[in-house]
Amino acid sequence: MHPSSETHSTPTLGARIKAIRATWRWSQEELAHALKVDQASISYWERDKIKPSGSGLLALASLFRTSAQAMEEGTGFQIPEPPRGPRGPRTQRLDPRGVSLPWGGKEAVMVIDIHDGSLIDSALSEGMMSLVQAFQTHRRAWLILE
């Protein structure tokens, strides 16, 4: 029997949040990213130090595909299947953890390859071609304006 088909009687809201996150094999950071809150909030919620706001509780219920009442009171609480897509476990994440951008250069456009960290000062037309090539090869491209 899969965990999502079992009804769980976890004693607190924090325990229910943590049970789902742990079953999904998500870090607190990944859950925070999915909910657009900071990681400390997830930690406080899981330890029952604070309760999510009304909108936070609704966001949790929506992400977990359950009712706010099931989350808050535990009534009919079940651990759902993890979602598919970019918010999945860190082993499926393609986003870099961080990118360090260099300070200005001579040219109006700088192209930075986040895979190898190379930097190319280029004219605007060459920068646009880099964006087109990234799109054609299904690579993620960031446009940062100063």
Domain containing 107 equals 96-146
Please check whether residues 8 and 55 belong to one and the same domain: yes
Please check whether residues 8 and 69 belong to one and the same domain: yes
Residue 74, domain CATH: 1.10.260.40
Count of domains for the chain: 2
Q: Indicate the range of 7-11, 39-43, 78-82 predicted with least confidence.
A: 7-11
Q: What b/e string do you get for 115-131 counting C-beta neighbours within 10 Å, with b at 16 or more? A: eeeeeeebeeeebeebe
Residue 10 has a pLDDT of 65
Please check whether residues 105 and 81 belong to one and the same domain: no
Q: What is the mean pLDDT of the chain?
A: 75
What is each CA distance from 113 to 130, 136, 140, in whole angstroms?
10, 15, 10
Res. 92: pLDDT tops 50: no
